Amino acid sequence: MGAAGAVAADLAGWGPVPAFAVTATASLETVAAVVGGLLAGVPCVPVPPDAGPVERGHILRDSGARLLEVDFARRAPSPGPLPSADAAGAGAGDPALILYTSGTTGVPKGVVLSKGAIVADLDALAGAWEWGAQDVLVHGLPLFHVHGLVLGVLGALRTGSRLLHTGRPTPEAYAAAAAAGGSLYFGVPTVWSRIAAAPEAAAALSGARLLVSGSAALPTPVFRDLERLTGHRVVERYGMTETLITVSGRAGGEVAPGTVGTALAGVTTRVVAEPGAEIGELQVKGPTLFSGYLGRPEATAAAYTGDGWFRTGDIASVDGEGVHRIVGRASTDMIKSGGYRIGAGEVENALLDHPQVREAAVVGVPDADLGERIVAFVVAEGVSGGELTDFVAARLSVHKRPREVRFITAVPRNAMGKPQKRRLLEGEEQGRA
C-alpha cells in the first residue's frame, strides 16, 4: 500500500482534477496507480502502452486527465483503507475508472465505471466462481481492459486471492504458474487456443480449480481439446466494458461449449426478437452497468431502451434453463438471407467442427436475390469449399449453409482475440471496386 499511498499523495497535491491517466503497462506501477486513485477518490484512466500518438492524445484530451508517472519504489502512508463502496453504500456512485472503448463504431468513448458497479460485479463473480482467498489467480492479460484490470487485479484485491501475472500469456508461462499453486486461470480464446496446441503445457493445468475464458467466443474445438488435455470444461462468461460481466458459467455447474452461462446475481437479461425468431438482441439491467459515456449524454441515452434496458448490440438466445448463447454482433453477425435470420456464430461453430478448419469467420454480403448471402472466410487445408458447405448443411438447417467459402491465411483479430470482421468486409468492398 506504500506505493499506492504515494500515488494518492501526489493526486492530493494536484488539487481538484477530473481524472488522472497512467500508461497501463503490465506492472506493479499500474496496480499502484489504480489503487492510489481509489484511495484518493480520483478516477483513473488506463492508457494502452502501445497507443499511438493520435489515440493517446484523444484519450487525454477527451478525459481531461493529466498523465501520472508512478515510481513503485516510492512509499507513503496510506490516507486510509480502500473504500468498500458496497452497492448500496455511500460513495458507490463515485467514478473509479474511465475505460476507453475500441472505437470500432467511431472515436473511442470514455466508459465511466463506478465503485459500486465494480464491487457488485466482483462479488457476483466471486459467488459464481467460488473465488476466494484460497485461490491463486493466474493471467497474463493487459491491464487496460475489464478482463485484465477489473477482474484480474481488482478482483484479486476484492477476494483476497493471490495474483500471479505472467507478463505474457504464453502456454509455457501458464504451465509454470501451476507449480506456484495456480488454481484460477483467466484467458482469452487466443491464449486458450495456443495452450490447447501445446499438450504438455495444457496437461500442467490439470491441477487447477477453474479455467475461465472471455472477451470473445471460445471455439468449440478448443473447448473440447482443453477438456481432453486438462480434464476441465472451460467456463465462459459474457460482458462488455459498459456492463462489466453480466452472464457466466458456474464453478461446479453444467458447462456446454458455445454457451456463456446464466445471469449473475442482481442482473436481469432479456432477448428482444422479431415474432417467430429464436434469436434477438440481448438487453440487460443490473447494478454492474456503467454510469455513462464521459461527456456524451446523447450517446448514453441512445444506449438504453425507452423502458431502461441497456442495448448490448449482441445477438443471443436463451434456453429454458436461462443459459445464454451469444450468436454475435447485430452489426456484423446477424445475417438476413432469403427471409431467414441467421446467426454467424452458429455457422462458425459448425465449420470449426470440421477437423481441417482452424479458424472461421462468417459474414453476410449484399446479394440481389437473397438480400444477404452467407460467406465463410476459413483457415483450412486439405478440404474444398464445396465440402465445407455440405458439412454445414448436414449439421444445420440447409438455409444456414455458406453460399461461398473463401480461404485465407488468418482471421484478423484485435488485441483481445476478437475477430475484426469489418476488415474482411472491407476486403469484399475492395474486391468489388
Domains, the chain? 1-82 (3.40.50.980), 338-432 (3.30.300.30)
Assess whether pLDDT exceeds 90 at residue 170: yes
Q: Within 10 Å of residue 163's Cβ, how many Cβ atoms?
A: 17
Assess whether pLDDT exceeds 90 at residue 83: no
What per-residue confidence (pLDDT) applies to 44?
Answer: 98
Assess whether pLDDT exceeds 70 at residue 302: yes
Please report which confidence band the pLDDT of residue 86 belongs to, taking 50, 70 and 90 as the band edges.
low
What's the mean per-residue pLDDT of the chain?
90
Stated as kind and residue range, the H or E segment containing 203 is: helix 199-204
The arithmetic mean of pLDDT across residues 374-393, rounded, is 95
What per-residue confidence (pLDDT) applies to 279?
Answer: 86
Stated as kind and residue range, the H or E segment containing 192 is: helix 189-196
354 backbone dihedrals φ, ψ, rounded to 5°: -75, 130
DSSP for 46-58, please give it. EE-TT--HHHHHH
What per-residue confidence (pLDDT) applies to 255?
Answer: 94
Assess whether pLDDT exceeds 70 at residue 88: no
Of 195-209, 247-261, 330-344, where does mean pLDDT reach its minimum?
A: 330-344
Assess whether pLDDT exceeds 70 at residue 430: no
Q: Maximum distance among all alpha carbons in the chain? A: 70
Assess whether pLDDT exceeds 50 at residue 431: no
The arithmetic mean of pLDDT across residues 71-91, rounded, is 74
Q: Which residues pair with 235 in a beta bridge?
A: 212
What per-residue confidence (pLDDT) applies to 432?
Answer: 32
What per-residue confidence (pLDDT) applies to 72?
Answer: 93
Place of cell 477482474: 151
Please report which confidence band the pLDDT of residue 433 belongs to, taking 50, 70 and 90 as the band edges.
very low
The arithmetic mean of pLDDT across residues 116-139, rounded, is 98
CA 374-377-378 angle, to 5 degrees, is 130
The arithmetic mean of pLDDT across residues 203-213, rounded, is 97
- Strands, DSSP E only, in 196-275? 210-213, 235-240, 244-248, 262-263, 268-272
Instruction: Convert the pLDDT of each residue in 12-46 to its tens digit.
Output: 999 899 999 999 999 999 999 999 999 999 999 99
Q: 272 near 234, Cβ under 8 Å?
A: no
Assess whether pLDDT exceeds 70 at residue 98: yes
What per-residue confidence (pLDDT) applies to 415?
Answer: 67
Assess whether pLDDT exceeds 50 at residue 429: no
The arithmetic mean of pLDDT across residues 416-430, rounded, is 70
How far is the C-alpha of 358 from the C-alpha of 364, rounded, in Å?
A: 21
